[in-house]
Structure 1
Amino acid sequence: MDLDLRKLRYFVAVAEELHFGRAAERLHIAQPVLSRQIRSLEDELGAEVFDRGRRGTLLTPAGKQLLEDAVPLLASAQALVRRVKSSAQGRRSLTIGFMPGITVTPAMIAFTALHPDVNVRLLRTTWEDQVAVLLDGRADVGIVRLPIDRQGLEVRPLFQEPRVVMVPVGHRLADRRSVTVEDLAAEHLLQDPNAVPEWRDVALELRSGERPEVPVIHQVEEKLELVAAGAGICVLPLSTATFYTRPDVIPLPVDDLGPNEVALAWVAARRSPLIRDFAEAAADTLAQAHDGERKPSAD
C-alpha cells in the first residue's frame, strides 16, 4: 500500500485541531471533502483513526500511533523536496544546528578544508527545537545537548561538560565556593524539573505541590533576566554560562550535579557524505577543544 502524503497532512491537521471544521479552515478546503479524505485514509489503513462520538473528535489508539509516525514522515518529505531543489540548482550546502555556548568553529575549519566548495551555514537552536530542525530539514546535522528524543536519529557523543547553577548577586548562596543539590532544595527552578532530575528529587516546592507555573522560556537571555530579578534559579552548561557572563548573575559549581552531554545528531535515513565528513571533523576537533576546559574558579 502506498500512503498518500496529502491525506496524511489532512489527518495531522484534524488530529491537532480535534475538530473537522477548524481543520478544514486551516487547510482551505471544504469540510465534506476533508471528511471524505479521512474516510479514504481509514479505508486504506484498515483502521479508524478518529472516534467521532458525543464527546467530539478524539484520536483512537490507531490514530495516536499514526500521528506519532506521520509528523516526522511529513517533515522528512518536505526536507527531501528542499534538498532536491537545491541540488537541481547546482548548490551544495550544509546547514549545522548548534546550541548556545557551543563553539562550532574548529569543526567548520576542518570540514571546509575538505570541502571548500560547500556553502556552510549555521543555525542557532534552542532546547525546544534542536531536534525539530533536523526532522524538518532546516538543518542537516546538529550539535545537540542531551537528552533528546532519539527516534529516527543517529546520535554520536562528543563530550561532557559541567553544569552550574545561576543565582543573582546578593543571593544567600552567592558567596559560596560551591553548593550541593540539597542546598537548592528551597529554590524555585525556572526550568522543567525533568531537565534537572537531581533538583526535582529534593525540591520542596514539588513536595508541597505549590510550585508556581513557569512560562516557556526560549532564550538563555530571558532566563538570566529572571534570575537577576530574583525570580528563581536556573541550571546551565558551563560553556553557556561563560558565554552569557553578566555582572548581576553568578555561576556556582554544584558538587553533585551530573554533567551535560553534547552530541552530534542527524536523521538516520540520511546517507549524505557531507554529513559523515562533518561528523568526523566534529569528533576530531570539538571533543579535543573541550578536553582542557576547567570548572569555574571559586575565587
Structure 2
Amino acid sequence: MPARYQLPMELRHLRYFQAVAREEHFGRAAQAIRIAQPALTRQVRDLEEELGVQLFERLPRGVRLSPAGRAFLEDTNAILEKLQRSVARAKSYATGHVGSVQIGFSEIASRHPEIPAKLLQFRLDEPMVELNLLPMSSMNQIDGLRNGTVDVAIVYDIHLSDEHLGVLDSCELGSSDIVLALYEDHPLAQKTIRLQDLVDERFIFPARKPQPRYFDRLMQACLAHGFSPNIVQETATDSILLSLVAVGMGIGFTQKTGGVPRQGVVLREVEDLDVSFRLHLAWRKSDPSPAVLRFVSAMG
C-alpha cells in the first residue's frame, strides 16, 4: 500500500499554481496576482518538489501544463470552488440568510390577518432559511422555548409571566379583540348585545387547562357583570368552538378576524365586553441564531 501523502502546502500554493496555469506564463501570472515573479517561480518549484511531479513544461516563451499538471489543475479548481462556496455558506449562516427556525404555531396565529402573509413573505425573501411550523398550544410553545425545542413562539401576552420574561425577549405583533360567535339564526344575531343578554345562554368555552389565563380573563369579565356563564362544553381550539356554534350547540367567545370564520356562524361585538389580547412573538434571550434574529426582525 502506498504511503499516505502529507500535505504541507498552503492555500496560496494552489492559487499560485492556478494563476500560472491560466496565464501559461510566470511573468503575466505574477502581475495578475501581484507578487514578484522570482517569488512565484520559487513557490511553484517548491510545490512541484513537494508533490514529486513536474506540473509545467518549461517553454522558450512561457509554460504549459504537463499531463500531471492538467490532472492537478482539475482537482485544484474543484477544491478552490468548493472552498469559495464554503466561505459564502459560512457568511450566509453568520448573517442569518441560511439556517432553520422552529416556530411554535397555534390557531390564533393562523387566524391573525397579518401573520400568514408575513410568513409567506419571509419564505420568499429568505429561501435558504427553513421554517418549521410546529402546531402546539401557547403554554407548550413557551415550554418549548425554555427547553430549546422551539426557537420562536407566537402567543398572547397573558401567557408571558414575569418569570418567562426573565429568560425570553418578545415584541408585539398586534392585538386581537374578543367577540361573540353565534349561529346565524340565533335571536341575538342581528341585535345590539350586552353581557346581561347572555345570562341564560349555553356557552362553549375554551378549555382552561391548556390556556388558564385566557379562560380566566373571559370568566372574570362575565363575573364582573353579574353572571357566571353556563358552560356546556369546553374546547381545545377555536375551530372546534366555531364548529359547535355553527350547529347550534351554544355560543362562545372568540377572537375577531377580518373574514367569515365559518359557514353558519356570525361574529358580533358585545358592547360592554372590554377584553382584548396582545399577540407577541417571543424568543430566548440566550444565544439566538442569526436566522432567528432575521426572522424576528422580519415579523416585528
TM bracket, shorter-chain basis: 0.5 to 0.7
2:159 alignment partner, SS class: coil
Residues 188 and 201 of structure 1, relative CA distance in 2, 3 Å threshold: farther
Given that 2:155 and 2:280 are in contact with CA atoms closer than 8 Å, whether structure 1 keeps it comes out as yes
- The match for 1:277 is 294
Paired AA for residue 242 in structure 1: G
Which residues of 2 match residues 103-114 of structure 1 at below 5 A? 103-112=114-123
Unmatched segments (≥5 aa) in structure 1:
1-86, 284-299
Alignment partner of 1:194 out of 216, 227, 231: 216
CA contact (8 A) 2:99 2:291 kept: no
1:225 is matched with 243
Q: CA deviation digits over 1:61-87, x for unaligned, max 9? A: xxxxxxxxxxxxxxxxxxxxxxxxxx9
Task: State the Cα distance separating 1:125 from its structure 2 match.
Answer: 3.2
Q: Give 1:195-210 correspondences, 5 Å limit.
A: 195-196=217-218, 197-202=220-225, 204-205=227-228
Separation in structure 2 between the aligned mates of residue 119 and residue 243 of structure 1, nearest angstrom: 31
Correspondence for 1:262 = 279
The correspondence for 1:116, drawn from 95, 119, 127, is: 127
Counting strand residues as a fraction of each chain, which structure ranks higher? 2
Are residues 1:94 and 2:101 paired? yes
Query: Per-residue CA shift, 1:200-248, capped at 9, x if unaligned?
Result: 3235336xxxx55744x22223212322343332211112x836321x2
Q: How has the CA–CA distance of structure 1 residues 227 and 195 changed in structure 2, closer, same or farther, with 3 Å as cutoff?
A: farther
SS of 2:158's equivalent? coil
Q: Could you tell which deviates more after superposition, 154-163 or 197-206? A: 197-206
Q: 1:183 is matched with which residue?
A: 197
Deviates more, 1:146-155 or 1:127-136: 127-136
> 3-state SS of the aligned residue for 1:161?
strand
**Aligned with residue 150 of structure 2, among 139, 143, 152:** 139
For residues 119-147 of structure 1, what are the alpha-carbon distances to aligned partners after superposition, in whole Å with 9 as ceiling and x for unaligned? 11222333453423433444311221231
- In 1, the alpha carbon distance for the partners of 2:243 and 2:116 equals 28
Once residues 243 and 195 of structure 2 are traced to their aligned partners in structure 1, the CA distance between those partners, rounded to angstroms, is 22
Deviation per CA, 1:123-178: give whole Å up to 9, x if none. 233345342343344431122123103313322112113221101222221112x4
Contact 1:128-1:218 within 8 A present in 2 as well:
no
What runs of 5+ residues in structure 2 fail to find an aligned partner? 1-92, 209-214
Partner SS, residue 131 of structure 1? helix
Cα offset for 1:282? 0.8
Q: How does 1:120-131 map to 2 (within 5 A)?
A: 120-127=131-138, 129-131=140-142
Question: Taking structure 1 as reference, are residues 234 and 269 closer, same or farther at Cα in structure 2, changes over 3 Å only?
Answer: farther
2 CA distance for matches of 1:114 and 1:170?
45
- The residue identity in structure 2 corresponding to 1:157 is E
**Aligned residues: CA RMSD:** 3.0
Check conservation: 1:163, 1:236, Cα contact below 8 A.
yes
Q: Is the 8 A contact 2:246 2:262 kept in 1?
A: no
Amino acid at match of 1:253: E
